[in-house]
Amino acid sequence: MTFDNIQHLRKKAEKDINRAMREAKADNQPEAAALFKRAGITLLTLAQGIEDENHGNKTKTH
């Protein structure tokens, strides 16, 4: 996984977290929860990509 891909996914998750915080502050809990979930999935995707690369798992298609 290239550094650019890592940065892209990190920024994507960060934007979702920031939006979730704004929604939570506005008392829109369902939207905040959805955005936090989306950020979490993005971070899991990032971690999985790095882990696959470190363990030589090149069989997955993205």
Nearest to 8 by CA among 37, 53, 36, 49: 49
Count of structural domains within the chain:
1
pLDDT band, very low/low/confident/very high, at 62 (cuts 50, 70, 90): low
pTM over 0.85: no
Nearest to 1 by CA among 53, 45, 40, 38: 53
pLDDT tens digits along 9-28: 999 999 999 999 999 999 99
Residue 8 lies in a domain: yes
pLDDT band, very low/low/confident/very high, at 5 (cuts 50, 70, 90): very high
38: containing domain: 3-54
Residue 10 lies in a domain: yes
Report the alpha-carbon distance of residue 10 to residue 59 in Å, rounded: 24
Nearest to 53 by CA among 62, 23, 21: 62
